[in-house]
Structure 1
Amino acid sequence: MFEEGQLYSAVTTQDDGTVTVHLADNHPGLHDEAYLARRGEIAAAALAHEPGGPVPVVQYTDDEHGIWRTVCAELAPKHERYAHPEFLRGKEALGLPAERVPQLSEVTALLAPLTGWSYTCAPGLVPLRDFYGRLGRRVFSSTQYLRHGSQPLYTPEPDIIHEVVGHGNQLASPRFAAVTEAAGAATARLETDEAVKFVADVFWFSMEFGVMADGPDLKAYGAGILSSYGEMDEFGSMEIRPLDLVDMGTLNYDITAYQPVLFRAASVDELEDVVGSFFATVDDDLAARLRAQAPASV
């Protein structure tokens, strides 16, 4: 199951005010002092951000714009091939720039007229209840840094490409945006951490790594798949199961590898009926009952 803190590098503030980002051992930027300093600079700006205030502007470098440009160019044809039409409609409506990294305030300006969502900044990890609580208010907490330039098509952690290209285009669909909002609103009703994690795991296997039928074809709508160059080539060969809330909320998985098990919605209607309705009605008792139905080996 999802464990809070798995997805993001730890961020600490030293006694002298210096912000340090602690990258994982498999991170391609681990020994790049310039990259580490840049990550600390961007994280510091997010840490200093006052809630409700203007989102910090990051002056992206030519190299950072180049990473964004490269990834967008490589993802575009894969989206046309692998993305569900509902995601593609959102992408077309949003119209993100492909040649440069947008500021989060720009993403908000594009997104708000479509679905009422906005973006705020995060240095990295946002506590689970805070992250989902903001989703319930139609606010997406996004990192602002970019992946290391040595491997532009790979990142071991969510960066602004994942947060904006993956989730931003998804949130431009009113239907996907409503399911995401319902997941966030659910946490306000939940008292136990176990119930919150159950919701987060169902979210993982739907809005992050969900697949969906498109006639006879299997397409992706999850932000984790559609922001990953490699994952788009692999998802069709994974074990595909029908939507199952017990399975989705309790299945063990490794976030550092391609997801070997994915859950297929027959349509957006089914996603709304099964996952959206669950988010809209779940309470601690329901989450506990569903968890108790999981096989011991899950």
Structure 2
Amino acid sequence: MERAAQEQELAGLKMEGAGFISHEGRAYSEEENAVWKLLCERRMAKLPETACEAWLEGVEKLKMPLDRVPLFDELNANLRPLTRWELRAVNGFIPAEMFFGSMAKRQFPSTLEIRPMDRLEYLQEPDIFHDVFGHVPMHTDPVFADFVQEYGQLVTELDDRDKFDAMARLWWYTVEFGLVEEAGQVKLYGSGLMSSFGEADNVFDGGPEIRPFDLDEVISTPFRIDIYQPIFWVAEGFDQLRDSVQELRRRWAEELTN
């Protein structure tokens, strides 16, 4: 399952109609807005106690509506002045070159579609709730924003399968399922935890192993997308994530010169 996820994330699994699309004129139905509101209500019942400060503050800084699906223009109006990031609309999965190239330019690709009411719990494919509610508040944090941009820049420069695999694991265990220590407590920041229900609860139920962030362990640990994560890594801060990308760049540059 890990290789399938890596192929999707990093090798460019392109679906029909993929690519940047206009978000203008995308009106959401009453049911779609009801789905967004219900998802937000359910997650915000717990996230004020379990989410990291950067994510919670990000929701406020973005003025993200919790009672309806947000529009990209209104979010971008608040996001750009903070960290120079912006949302770009896409239709499904896009090629890896485009996805990570966008990250390198501080553009976050997001689908406009939202999950149906009868599939609230979990989707393997991203929807706007995962992309926007899960990811985007973290992009208001300057250090995290720099980390993701530098990550995108490094990925676009790679042409080695093993290094792609290492970067896929780093993304999975940080951006998607990362934890951070704040005032001696473990807090959530990964988008897969922010936008999920059972997975986030699992972190605090004593089931998974929780380890201090270790770059070498992270990039060498395979992952699966079809089970609750058995291992999580806790970063000391988001500067540790940014430093990890810089460390990999340094290592791999040295390999080329030796």
Sort the TM-score into its range (normalised by shorter chain). 0.7 to 0.9
Higher RCO (C-alpha under 8 Å, 6+ residues apart)? 2
* 1:4–1:127 CA contact under 8 A, matched in 2: no
Q: Give the superposition deviation at 1:163.
A: 0.4
From 123, 126, 130, the equivalent of 1:158 is 126
Runs of 4+ in 1 over 6 A off after TM superposition: 6-10
Equivalent residues in 2 for 1:136-285, closer than 5 Å:
136-236=104-204, 237=206, 238-266=208-236, 268=237, 271-273=238-240, 275-283=241-249
Alignment RMSD (CA, Å): 2.6
* 2:144–2:242 CA contact under 8 A, matched in 1: no
* 1:91–1:169 CA contact under 8 A, matched in 2: yes
Cα shift readout 1:85-142 (whole Å, capped 9, x = no counterpart) = 2221222211201111112233222211211111111222122232111111100011
* 2:58–2:141 CA contact under 8 A, matched in 1: yes
- Aligned partner of 1:129 in structure 2 is 97
* 2:13–2:95 CA contact under 8 A, matched in 1: no
- Aligned partner of 2:54 in structure 1 is 86
Q: Which moved more, 1:142-151 or 1:190-199?
A: 190-199
Gaps of 5+ in 2: none
* 1:195–1:284 CA contact under 8 A, matched in 2: no
Q: Give the superposition deviation at 1:197.
A: 3.2
Counterpart Cα distance in 2 of 1:288 and 1:242 = 26
Counterpart Cα distance in 2 of 1:122 and 1:214 = 34
Q: Which moved more, 1:276-285 or 1:113-122?
A: 276-285
1:86 to 1:48, Cα distance in 2 relative to 1, 3 A: closer
Largest Rg, 1 or 2: 1
Cα shift readout 1:246-296 (whole Å, capped 9, x = no counterpart) = 221121111122211110112x1xx413x312323534963997xxxxxxx
Counterpart Cα distance in 1 of 2:43 and 2:105 = 29
SS of 1:120's equivalent in the other structure is strand
Counterpart Cα distance in 1 of 2:50 and 2:224 = 23
* 2:176–2:191 CA contact under 8 A, matched in 1: yes
Report sequence identity in percent.
29
Q: Give the superposition deviation at 1:64.
A: 0.6
Q: Give the superposition deviation at 1:169.
A: 0.8
Counterpart Cα distance in 2 of 1:151 and 1:255 = 17
* 1:195–1:287 CA contact under 8 A, matched in 2: no
Gaps of 5+ in 1: 13-43, 290-298
Matched, 1:109 2:112: no
SS of 2:65's equivalent in the other structure is coil
Greater fraction helix = 2
1:48 to 1:112, Cα distance in 2 relative to 1, 3 A: closer
Counterpart Cα distance in 1 of 2:175 and 2:216 = 16
Normalised to the residue count of structure 2, the TM-score between the two structures is 0.86
1:223 to 1:288, Cα distance in 2 relative to 1, 3 A: farther
Normalised to the residue count of structure 1, the TM-score between the two structures is 0.76
From 67, 74, 83, the equivalent of 2:42 is 74
Q: How many residues were matched structurally?
A: 249
* 2:13–2:94 CA contact under 8 A, matched in 1: no
1:256 to 1:58, Cα distance in 2 relative to 1, 3 A: farther
Q: Give the superposition deviation at 1:242.
A: 1.6
- Aligned partner of 2:8 in structure 1 is 5
Q: Give the superposition deviation at 1:69.
A: 0.6
* 1:190–1:284 CA contact under 8 A, matched in 2: no
